[in-house]
Amino acid sequence: MKKKEKSKKKRKAGSVVLTVILIICIVVFCVSAYHLYKIMNNYHKSNEEYDVVQQEVVEETDDGFFVDFDKLQAQNPDCIGWIRFENLDISYPIMKGTDNEYYLHHTINGSYLYAGSIFMNYQNASDFSDMNTFIFGHNMKNDSMFGLLGDFKDKEVYEKNPCFWIYTPEGAHRYDIFSCYVADADEDTYTVYHGQGEAYDKYVKQLKENSAYPIDVDVDGTDKIVTLSTCTAEGYDYRYIVNGVLAETIPTDEQ
């Protein structure tokens, strides 16, 4: 009789343990599902917002790609340009704030979303007059923002996308890519140079040498460059870098 009672107690205890484990699993699943929903909803809102902006201010025809900066800057005067790759799904307004924090997680319309904006280093001149200008963007898992920038690790991607365009109220500017590589976030890569000189000349040569693969594009200390930067899977302290040298400018009245 006692053995039967002990057996019942064991089965009951086992049933309680299984029930507790099941409840924990359900809670973990629900919490995970909720977080996944928040992430996916965040992605959706960000994509939707930028799609609307593009529809309102961009006109793409056989004659070219045109941005209505009057409309764009009426939405937000912090918008100083537009970046676009011809064969990659990267086409966004470029923002510039008073620091490098706000637009990390705020969109052009001021919405707080993880994807944030593509934005210029606040220490750079808004008119791209510095010798080197930095543009940052998140490496999003759905490939939005600068999520495709890391694909340049593959030289075939570079060969299909040897340049990118930056549009400003003054005109369209083509930048030929001359270097792609992973950099330490604390490296001299992020030094801003406002004018020419021996230090800048050495800096440009170093960027060229840093490239993960050879690129046949000439660049020296007299050239203006733009550095695109995003996070990378290599770790928190690393960034993926794509450097472009100004190769062509088409004034707005000639477009």
State the catalytic residues: 138, 231
Residue 218, phi then psi, degrees to nearest 5: -80, 140
Q: CA–CA distance from 136 to each of 103, 117, 198 (Å)?
A: 10, 8, 26
Nearest one of 156, 146, 187, 191 to 50, comparing CA atoms: 146
Q: What is the rounded distance in angstroms from the CA atom of residue 160 to the CA atom of residue 180?
A: 14
- Residue pair 127/153 in contact (Cβ under 8 Å)? The answer is no
Q: CA–CA distance from 70 to each of 67, 125, 170 (Å)?
A: 9, 20, 12
Helix and strand numbers (H, E) in the chain are 4, 10
